[in-house]
Amino acid sequence: MSLSVKKVTQLKVQVEDRPGQLAELARGAAGEGLNFLAMTGYAREGGTAEIIAIPEDPDRAKMLAANAGISLETSEALLITGDDKLGAIAEIAEKIAALGVNIIATEAIAVEGKFGCWVVVAPEDLDKVADALGAD
């Protein structure tokens, strides 16, 4: 399977869980010319929500968040894209498992014949996994 594998920075923010919160953050970012390569979010207990995003320009995203008083957690991940085929995520997960590396988190989607996912592993394992998957 031919894949594009890139090291990326993911940003995590805790927000109030209320209607329009994601729309406000996304519109604000777009208004500042900030594009996201991937994003996920979910409600948590206690009236909060977590939004995790991979910005195209992480330095700009961090600067904009700081200017807006938004506290971010950052970590590194791998963004993997390619043509979709049966077992795509299985092949990726098997390669990572063969290294003895645990996947901390992942998100995947396939749309119109294309596959994409991001994978989070421990920081000390990132380069090893990137190399095994053929990082760009």
Structure confidence by residue, pLDDT tens digits, 72-83 = 999 999 999 999
Instruction: With CA atoms as reference, report the closest residue to 61 among 43, 79, 74.
Output: 74
Q: Say yes or no: 83 and 128 in one domain.
A: yes
Q: Say yes or no: 103 and 69 in one domain.
A: no
- Residue 38: give the domain boundaries: 10-75
Block means of pLDDT (10 residues each) for the chain, length 136 residues? 90 95 92 95 93 96 93 96 94 97 96 95 97 88
Q: Say yes or no: 89 and 59 in one domain.
A: no
pTM confidence score: 0.89
- Are 52 and 106 a contacting pair, CB within 8 Å? no
Q: Say yes or no: 71 and 87 in one domain.
A: no
Q: Say yes or no: 14 and 70 in one domain.
A: yes
Instruction: With CA atoms as reference, report the closest residue to 76 among 34, 35, 118, 116.
Output: 118
User: CA 80 → CA 33, 40, 62, 114, distances in Å?
Assistant: 24, 16, 23, 11
Q: Is residue 71 part of a domain?
A: yes
Helix or strand holding residue 26 (H, E) = helix 21-31
Number of domains in the chain: 2
For the chain, count helices (H), then strands (E). Answer: 4, 6
Q: Is residue 5 part of a domain?
A: no
